[in-house]
């Protein structure tokens, strides 16, 4: 059975509320019943005061309560005390009437007639549920009562010595109509309180469920739109709580997905363009040769081979970028001497720079040999791409300087060249695929536009960083930072 989130919230809140109400009502009923039982016991104790005086007198005179254990002795004692109380009330009422000059008819001669001494029905209510114990705690008279269901009160003489004790049952006896009625009323009102509380809890739980369901519904609708392809979906993240944080994270996620989708489409468009251009040139040249527009010579075939070679380089670069994107470099790490590797690169490229009217220099700022852990072939590819980029864009006469230094636990390699420079707005985009500052898509002027993107992937695979900045020589500076080699601890 499927339950919506709102119904689940409602059932959870309502169940908790009802459980709390039931617990509170049960506690209140128990407390009322227990407190009422204690109250009734103390009321009985107060009404037993005349009987208690007689008991103390018995102990003082006879030093024993065994006489009350005989049949009818306890009942005769209680009824005798009641008779004394009635006579005292009658005498006081007559005296008051005589003082006021009136005749009191509230007492009749029948009131002074004692009932049968063995009639339990004529015992006053306050002795029901009461047991008299001697000084040793032995039962003397009254009703046998379990100790755990009763309260015990000591009976003391004038010397404050305990001579006996009362054992009084907590709560009203079954034939105490007033007490039973009071408890029944408490139960009835507790039931109504429970019912009203449950109804109120249900309404409150439903409102709370709707309150929590609303932002969840907005979030659910947002995910549905994203699943349908609407990556521009954004949620109102105005709440300063956990739900607002979820909505802000959702917006951040969709922004990244949208950016990735835009980059993917741009990547497909740029790749198609880069492949289409040389293929179009090659097709048109071959058609011209077939139709006799261009003579079939070795030079023309060489041009075709050059175009195919450019396509091969472009495809290799695309494969390298794909590896960089997926982190699929097959790297073989080994300790590398940084200064020696840079000197080899300097010798390999010196002739090409000289032929282009540029000078290539190496400046080592560290007196200590610097080592890094890396794949020598891939790091040489990084340096070769950066130097090739400088060779293409630096005006002659000009210079390119390789500067190497150590910075904390990293080695810093900076390749800087002279004019022309790069606009500030272009610096963050130099490592994007197919990006060229001049905006041209002509591969003859700017290569494939993938060299620096490949460099970034290789450096990141070595847990390093690469970035571009303005050169102090007036051109562009590409900085590479790689972790220094850490000798294994013995």
Question: Hey, is 199 helix, strand or coil?
Answer: helix
Residue that the structure tokens 């209510």 belong to: 125
* pTM reported for the whole predicted model: 0.47
Nearest alpha carbon to residue 381 among 444, 321, 339, 307: 321
β-partners of residue 337 are: 371
Label residue 97 exposed, middle or buried (CB < 10 Å: 0-12, 13-18, 19+): middle
Local confidence band at 273 (pLDDT 50, 70, 90 cut-offs): low
Q: How far apart are CA 215 and CA 211, in angstroms?
A: 8
Label residue 490 exposed, middle or buried (CB < 10 Å: 0-12, 13-18, 19+): exposed
| 6-10, 106-110, 451-455: range with highest mean pLDDT | 451-455
pLDDT digits (tens, 9 = 90+) for 219-234: 888 888 888 888 888 8
Rounded to 5°, angle at Cα 481 from 475 and 486: 155
Phi first, then psi: give them for residue 255, nearest 5 degrees: -65, -40
pLDDT computed for residue 99 by the predictor: 60
Nearest alpha carbon to residue 433 among 258, 255, 266: 266
Nearest alpha carbon to residue 401 among 418, 422, 420, 389: 418
**N-terminal to C-terminal alpha carbon distance within the chain:** 63
pLDDT computed for residue 440 by the predictor: 35
Greater model confidence, 151 or 35: 151
445 neighbors 381 (Cβ within 8 angstroms) = no
β-partners of residue 480 are: 413, 466
pLDDT computed for residue 110 by the predictor: 36
pLDDT computed for residue 115 by the predictor: 45
Greater model confidence, 95 or 386: 386
Phi first, then psi: give them for residue 257, nearest 5 degrees: -65, -40
Local confidence band at 418 (pLDDT 50, 70, 90 cut-offs): very high
pLDDT at 390 over 80: yes
Rounded to 5°, angle at Cα 414 from 374 and 402: 95
449 neighbors 436 (Cβ within 8 angstroms) = yes
Phi first, then psi: give them for residue 70, nearest 5 degrees: -70, 155
pLDDT at 398 over 80: yes
Write the DSSP symbol of residue 291: T
414: left (phi over 0), alpha (psi -120 to 50) or beta: beta
Residue 342 CA to chain centroid, in angstroms?
52
Write the DSSP symbol of residue 395: P
383 neighbors 342 (Cβ within 8 angstroms) = yes
Mean pLDDT over 350-377 rounds to 90
Q: How far apart are CA 207 and CA 38, in angstroms?
A: 43
Q: How far apart are CA 198 and CA 17, in angstroms?
A: 7
88-97, 98-107, 336-345: the lowest-pLDDT one? 98-107
Nearest alpha carbon to residue 364 among 395, 350, 335, 343: 343
pLDDT at 102 over 50: no
Between the CA of residue 286 and those of 35, 170, 303, 314, what are the distances in Å? Answer: 110, 115, 11, 21
pLDDT at 205 over 60: yes
33-47, 339-353, 456-470: the lowest-pLDDT one? 33-47
pLDDT digits (tens, 9 = 90+) for 87-97: 877 777 666 65
% of the chain beyond a pLDDT of 70: 82
pLDDT at 248 over 80: yes
pLDDT computed for residue 149 by the predictor: 80
For the chain, the average pLDDT equals 79
pLDDT computed for residue 178 by the predictor: 65
Q: How far apart are CA 319 and CA 302, in angstroms?
A: 26
Sorted by sequence, the CB contacts under 8 Å of residue 308 that are 6+ apart come out as 282
90-99, 121-130, 257-266: the lowest-pLDDT one? 90-99
Q: How far apart are CA 93 and CA 96, in angstroms?
A: 5
pLDDT digits (tens, 9 = 90+) for 132-178: 988 888 898 888 888 888 888 999 988 888 889 999 887 655 546 66
pLDDT computed for residue 100 by the predictor: 57
Local confidence band at 116 (pLDDT 50, 70, 90 cut-offs): very low
Residue that the structure tokens 């990006």 belong to: 435
Q: How far apart are CA 262 and CA 251, in angstroms?
A: 16
In sequence order, which ranges of 356-442 are alpha helices (DSSP H)? 376-393
What is the maximal distance between C-alpha atoms in the chain? 159
Helices 5-47 and 177-227 sit at what angle, rounded to 10 degrees? 160
Cβ atoms within 10 Å, residue 398: 21
Question: Hey, is 336 helix, strand or coil?
Answer: strand
């Amino acid at each position: 059975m499927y339950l919506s989130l709102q119904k689940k919230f409602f059932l959870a809140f309502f169940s908790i509320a009802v459980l709390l109400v039931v617990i509170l009502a049960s506690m209140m009923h128990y407390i009322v019943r227990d407190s009422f039982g204690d109250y009734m016991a103390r009321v009985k104790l107060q009404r037993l005061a005349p009987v208690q005086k007689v008991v103390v007198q018995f102990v003082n005179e006879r030093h024993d309560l065994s006489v009350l254990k005989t049949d009818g002795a306890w009942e005769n004692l209680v009824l005798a005390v009641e008779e004394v109380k009635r006579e005292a009330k009658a005498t006081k009422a007559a005296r008051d009437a005589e003082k006021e000059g009136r005749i009191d008819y509230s007492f009749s001669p029948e009131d002074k007639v004692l009932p049968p001494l063995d009639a339990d029905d004529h015992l006053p209510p306050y002795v029901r549920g009461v047991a008299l114990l001697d000084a040793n705690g032995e039962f003397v008279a009254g009703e046998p009562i379990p100790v755990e269901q009763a309260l015990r009160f000591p009976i003391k003489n004038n010397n404050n010595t305990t001579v006996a004790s009362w054992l009084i049952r907590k709560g009203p006896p079954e034939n105490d109509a007033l007490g039973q009625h009071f408890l029944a009323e408490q139960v009835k009102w507790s039931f109504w309180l429970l019912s009203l509380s449950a109804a109120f809890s249900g309404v409150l739980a439903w409102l709370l469920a709707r309150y929590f369901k609303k932002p969840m519904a907005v979030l659910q609708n947002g995910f549905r739109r994203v699943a349908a392809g609407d990556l521009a979906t954004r949620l109102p993240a105005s709440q300063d709580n956990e739900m607002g944080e979820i909505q802000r994270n959702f917006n951040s996620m969709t922004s990244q997905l949208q950016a990735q989708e835009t980059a993917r489409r741009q990547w497909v468009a740029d790749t198609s363009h880069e492949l289409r251009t040389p293929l179009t040139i090659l097709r048109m040249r071959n058609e011209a040769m077939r139709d006799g527009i261009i003579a079939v010579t070795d030079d023309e075939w060489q041009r075709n081979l050059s175009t195919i070679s450019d396509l091969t380089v472009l495809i290799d670069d695309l494969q390298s970028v794909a590896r960089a994107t997926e982190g699929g470099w097959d790297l073989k790490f080994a300790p590398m001497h940084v200064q020696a590797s840079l000197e080899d690169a300097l010798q390999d490229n010196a002739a090409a720079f000289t032929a282009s009217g540029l000078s290539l220099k190496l400046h080592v700022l560290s007196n200590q040999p610097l080592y890094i852990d890396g794949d020598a072939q891939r790091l040489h590819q990084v340096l070769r791409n950066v130097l090739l980029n400088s060779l293409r864009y630096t005006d002659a006469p000009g210079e390119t300087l390789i500067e190497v230094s150590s910075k904390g636990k990293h080695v810093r390699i900076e390749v800087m060249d002279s004019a022309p420079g790069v606009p500030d707005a272009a610096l963050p985009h130099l490592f994007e695929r197919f990006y060229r500052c001049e905006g041209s898509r002509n591969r003859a002027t700017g290569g494939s536009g993938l060299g620096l993107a490949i460099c970034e992937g290789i450096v990141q695979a070595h847990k390093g960083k690469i970035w571009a900045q303005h050169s102090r020589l007036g051109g562009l500076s590409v900085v590479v930072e790689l972790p220094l080699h850490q000798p294994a601890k013995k």
